[in-house]
Amino acid sequence: MQQLPKMHRWTLGVMVAAAGLLAGCSDEVNPVLGTDMAYSIYGIFTPELDTQWVRVFPIEGTLRLRDTTALDAVVMSTDLTTGEKVVWRDSLLLQPNGGYEHAFWSPFRAAFGHEYRLDVQRSDGRTTSGQTTVPGRLEAEMQPFERRPDVVLPFLLRGTADHLMKIEMEYHVIYDYFPGPPSSTSTEKLILAYEGTISSSPDGWKLPINLSADYARMRTILASEMKWKPTFGLAILGVSVRMLVASEDWMPPGGVFDPEVLGMPNVMSNVENGFGLVVGGYRLNLDFFPPDDAAAAAGYRLLSELDE
C-alpha cells in the first residue's frame, strides 16, 4: 500500500467530483448502525484514463479518523464482456483533517461498450458489489447549417450512450481588431452552458449549436465586462464542445444533481450489500470551426475580412 501520487489524486478527484459522486461523502462514512453491510464504494470505469480507481469506505459502528493501517478488503473487477478478472491495489489519500481514505487502483484502460462488475470483499466473506456499462464511443458529424430563423449548426453524435451531461460550448473569439500599423487583436474565451439542448434520435444524439443565440449571449457577457465593441462585433477563432458521456447509473433522481438529496444514503446508488455508486463514462471534447457561410449568416465577422 502506498500514498497516491499527487497527479493521480488530482485526476481521481476531478473524475469522481464531476459526477457528483462525493456529494454526500461525509454522510456516507458516518456510522451506519444495525447493518451488516461492509463498505461504501465510489468509482468510475473510463476509457479516458489508463488507470481505474475506486474509493472504499468501511461501514463501521463508530466514527473515527482512519490511519495508514491496511484496509480489510480485496478489490477485484470483472470485465463481463470478456471474462477478464483483475485484482486492484490499495493506496492512501491524505485528507485535510489528518485522516486517510483508501483508493484502490488498477493499471488498465476501460473499454468502450464493455460491462464491468466491481467486488470488494472483507475477510469474513461479506462482499459489496457494483456493476456498470461504459458508454460506447461517440463519433461527431457536422450537418449543413439551418435557419430556424436563427442560424443553427446541427451535430449528430453517432453511437450508444445513456446520458450526455454537463454540456458546454467554449468560443475563442476576436472582439476587437485594429489593422495598424501596428496591428492589434483582442481575444477572449467564453464558455456557454448548453444543458437541455441535446436530444436523442434513432441515429444517435442531436446537438443543435445556435450560432445566432450564442452571438447574443457572448455580446451580453462582453458588454458586462466593458469589452464589447459594436463597430467590430465578433470573429470566431475556434469552438470546442465539451460534455460528459455517462452510463445510465449517473442519472440522479429527477435528473438534477442536488447535494441535499444526493447526500442521503442510498438515494443514488447501484451498489449491492453496501452504499455508493459505480459508474462508467468519459469526457468528450469536440473542436471545430463553423463554415464561413454559417458564421456570416449569424452575423460574425470572417477571419478573411481582417486581412483585407
Task: Name the DSSP class of 63.
Answer: -
At residue 298, does pLDDT exceed 60? Answer: yes
* CATH code for residues 2-136+247-281: 2.60.40.10
Listing DSSP states for 192-259 in one string gives EE-TT--EEETTEEEEEEEHHHHHHHHHHHHHHTT---TTT--EEEEEEEEEEEE-GGG--GGG---H
CB 129 within 8 A of CB 275: no
Query: pTM for the full model?
Result: 0.82
Whether the Cβ atoms of residue 41 and residue 57 lie closer than 8 Å to each other: yes
Q: How many of the other CB atoms lie within 10 Å of CB of 199?
A: 10
* Segment 40-48 mean pLDDT: 93
Whether residue 244 has pLDDT greater than 60: yes
Higher pLDDT, 67 or 200: 200
Structural domain boundaries of the chain?
2-136+247-281, 139-244+286-306
- Residue 250's nearest CA partner among 25, 24, 57, 20 is 20
239 has a pLDDT exceeding 90: yes
| Residue 178: pLDDT band with limits 50, 70, 90 | very high
User: What tens digit of pLDDT does each residue of 264-278 get?
Assistant: 555 567 899 998 899
Rounded Cα gap, residues 55 and 58, in angstroms: 10
Check residue 16 and report its DSSP letter: H
